Structure 1
Amino acid sequence: MNKKILYVITRSEWGGAQKHLIDVVIGMKKKGLSPIVAVGDEGDLTRELEKNNVEFYIINNLVHQISLKQDLKAILELRNLVKKINPSIIHLHSSKAGLVGRIATKVSNYRIPVIFTAHGWGFTPGSKKINKYISLLSELLTSWMLNKVICVSKFDQELAEKYHIISKKKLTYVYNGISKDMNVDLVDIDKKREKVLFTMVARFDSQKDYLTLVKAIEKLKNNKEIYNQIQFNFVGKGPLYEEIQKEIINRKIDDVVNLLGFRNDILEIINQSDVFVLTSNYEGLPISIIEAMSLEKPLIVSDVGGVRELIDKNGFLIAKGKNEIKNIGKAIVQLTSDDRLRIEMGENSLSIFQNKFTLEQCVNNTEKIYKIYMK
């Protein structure tokens, strides 16, 4: 049996898709398969692959932005790699790699099954109109090249069905998951801390809505009793980092907001927090929320994409719209003033995680799909 699985992803910069990929790759390696990764650049992902002795190749012209010249070169690079490796299955991750990878496969070997994991669709509600049109068009034109499409949530599967871009027979969903046995040093929470600590972990870009959270925190200055009891950690980097930094200073909330930048100790930071927050304009199924759930944290999260599927009496689901800032504020007030509520919601988070969102479940469900196509 050919046990080689070629995974293709655009960027090595750390994010939810990269975290998911490395976990699945390691899981498949433990199951006796031979994972190989093709990625557009070197970075956080390739360093993790090296640590875990996973073979990888750099596709130099596989870039995030649209570039006809580079995209054609990337197709040729990937086609040559497919011919060299001759994998049993090609598993594509991220939109750009998903498009380039399916074309490269079909011009090199029509018989290799191609699976695509959609980490949130480009046409999901909240995304830019131009992105919606490009994403819908590309899927309509090339979905016939795919054998299976794995969505990370029921929401995304139903969204693809709604637009009729892919045959229902090709669609399924597999929830993201993380390991129950995290290899990190999680020290006990500082019980002596006087303030309630809220943490948001996200890239500073147009997808993640830090600005709305900043505005909600500013509004709480009118409630001095609560404002004096709260502290926020913002963890991440990205193109909007300096803009958000200026907003924090201009709105005079820098006394309660800490900008921690990019960190390698994310789980430790979340573990030391009392509440996890993720305000977003659109999502697939965020791994950061699942990590927080595994650490028994109550949640304040935006009702976008598949996020609703993570919430059941374990946090506050905030609808986008005119009352969003007000409702975030209310959630912060409730979780700050009610210790018992934080504990109960945190316990519910852990229970939901254990039942539905472990890495073992994710890997096993993905392997079941592989077995359909492996010879």
Structure 2
Amino acid sequence: MKICHIIANLYAGGAQTFVVLLAIEQKRLGNDVSIILIDNFNHSPFEAYLIKQLQENQIKVYSLDRKPGKNLSVLQSFLKLNSCLNSLKPDIINSHLQFTHLIIALYLKLFRKNYKLVLTIHNAPEEWNYQTLQTNLHTPSIYCSNSSMATSVIRDCKKTVISNGIAMPLIDDSALQIFKDFKIDTSHQLILMVGKLSHQKNYPLAVEIAKNYQDKNVTFLICGIKEETADEDLNSFKSVKNIHYLGIKVPKEIYSLMAYCNVFLNTSHYEGLPITVLEAFFVGIKCVLSDILPHHEIGDGVEGVFIPDSFEAKDFIKLIDEALANSLNHQEIKELRKEVLKKYTIKETASKYIDFYKQLI
């Protein structure tokens, strides 16, 4: 089967990591897989890391060279997309994230193409504008979690839930260099957060939580690409002496940080089936997660996972204290989580994707 995944870019993020893992596993299952990026390459370490993985698995990556924020370049992108797809002739196009859903649907209508299009819905809910909804009312869709299907806009389309999956994280010592570069006191208890600087990730709450630990030898480390709340978030980080913003880190560095930190914290307003949280589960770090449906869906009953009953800082602080006091180490927690995490392997996810594609061809 010829499969073409399309996503805006590989600059950073859980959805981007997932698309790469999915493409690689689908290739291993004997399919012809390619990836098209709408935006131009930015040659960041994160993008380079993912593209290197794809190239090592003989998966070609194409760029339509759209300049983010430049709407006039969309027309040129359509022409390049048409050229790519005419050459690739995919049996299935799998679109990821709202902007891509709109661009691909518009292309298919404007160029009168009949490629089989599947949308992967990555959030709960995934925020769609009117144009995206109207052009995809009946487009077959894969929801990344039950929470995503339950909270997203209702459409008359063929749909299924296929839980996100990941590959087992490989741990190295790259966190040690990060600690050295940022002068992190490793005698402190370390709280790790990973996610774009955006409204979704709710960093004002994280700052409020961190203030409680300023004189308690607890340090907060935050990794993520700068998005719409970056200026506000970065200013607030500077106001608290025990927060260190580490910038964008590639997946292997994230895994290493998870292995060396004490607690993984997520304060998000919403998620889909969060890849980074799954990675934290597999590494064995204790997790304190916000009270949203996807976190309950994957975290309830999982060893070393703590979910407060509200978005009040005091409720997070209580559970962070409990997590820090927990005597189980990463390896012990990994063993206790092993059975429940079997359903979140990328091998199983990729196989289910192929089964859904076959229903459409």
The TM tier, using the shorter chain, reads 0.7 to 0.9
Mean Cα deviation higher: 102-111 or 324-333: 102-111
Structure 1 position 7, deviation (Å): 1.2
Mean Cα deviation higher: 71-80 or 210-219: 71-80
**Cα distance per residue 1:145-171 (max 9 Å; x no partner):** 62x2011110111223xx43x12x512
- Quick check: 1:155 aligned with 2:147? yes
Structure 1 position 114, deviation (Å): 0.7
Between the aligned partners of 1:141 and 1:241, the Cα distance in structure 2 is 31
Alignment of 1:1-375 (within 5 A): 3-39=1-37, 40-42=39-41, 43=43, 44=47, 45-61=50-66, 65=69, 67=71, 69-108=72-111, 110-120=113-123, 135-144=128-137, 146=139, 148-160=140-152, 163-164=153-154, 166-167=155-156, 169-180=157-168, 182-185=169-172, 194-221=187-214, 227-228=216-217, 230-239=218-227, 240-241=229-230, 243-251=232-240, 254=241, 256-264=242-250, 265-304=253-292, 306-314=294-302, 315-319=305-309, 321=311, 324-340=312-328, 348-354=336-342, 356-374=343-361
Mean Cα deviation higher: 50-59 or 335-344: 335-344
CA separation of 1:219/1:9 partners in 2, compared to 1, >3 Å: closer, same or farther? same
**Cα distance per residue 1:112-156 (max 9 Å; x no partner):** 2111111116x55xxxxxxx5xx252343112462x201111011
Between the aligned partners of 1:348 and 1:197, the Cα distance in structure 2 is 22
Mean Cα deviation higher: 299-308 or 20-29: 299-308
Between the aligned partners of 2:121 and 2:143, the Cα distance in structure 1 is 5
Amino acid at match of 1:103: L
CA separation of 1:14/1:195 partners in 2, compared to 1, >3 Å: closer, same or farther? same
Structure 1 position 77, deviation (Å): 2.9
Mean Cα deviation higher: 29-38 or 41-50: 41-50
Amino acid at match of 2:12: W
* Alpha-carbon contact 2:210-2:220 (below 8 Å) kept: no
TM-score, normalising length: structure 1: 0.81
* Alpha-carbon contact 1:79-1:105 (below 8 Å) kept: no
Between the aligned partners of 1:341 and 1:84, the Cα distance in structure 2 is 51
Between the aligned partners of 1:59 and 1:187, the Cα distance in structure 2 is 33
Structure 1 position 23, deviation (Å): 0.4
Between the aligned partners of 2:346 and 2:60, the Cα distance in structure 1 is 21
CA separation of 1:49/1:41 partners in 2, compared to 1, >3 Å: closer, same or farther? farther
TM-score, normalising length: structure 2: 0.83
* 3-state secondary structure, aligned to 2:307: strand
CA separation of 1:107/1:82 partners in 2, compared to 1, >3 Å: closer, same or farther? farther
Amino acid at match of 2:236: E
Mean Cα deviation higher: 76-85 or 336-345: 336-345
Amino acid at match of 1:371: K
Mean Cα deviation higher: 20-29 or 272-281: 272-281
CA separation of 1:318/1:70 partners in 2, compared to 1, >3 Å: closer, same or farther? farther
CA separation of 1:261/1:111 partners in 2, compared to 1, >3 Å: closer, same or farther? closer
The unaligned stretches of length 5 or more in structure 2 are 177-185
Structure 1 position 93, deviation (Å): 1.0
Percent identity, please. 22
**Cα distance per residue 1:151-210 (max 9 Å; x no partner):** 1110111223xx43x12x512111111113x34436999xxx654322111122222122
Between the aligned partners of 2:80 and 2:249, the Cα distance in structure 1 is 33
**Cα distance per residue 1:199-235 (max 9 Å; x no partner):** 11112222212221111121345xx6xx23x232222
Structure 1 position 370, deviation (Å): 1.9
Between the aligned partners of 1:247 and 1:136, the Cα distance in structure 2 is 30
**Cα distance per residue 1:11-55 (max 9 Å; x no partner):** 120211110111011111111111111102214044443343311
Between the aligned partners of 2:339 and 2:270, the Cα distance in structure 1 is 25
**Cα distance per residue 1:316-340 (max 9 Å; x no partner):** 223554xx21111111111223325
Between the aligned partners of 1:89 and 1:204, the Cα distance in structure 2 is 33
Q: Which residue of 2 aligns with 1:129?
A: none
Amino acid at match of 2:235: K
Structure 1 position 78, deviation (Å): 1.8
Between the aligned partners of 1:366 and 1:151, the Cα distance in structure 2 is 11
**Cα distance per residue 1:66-86 (max 9 Å; x no partner):** 83x433443333233222321
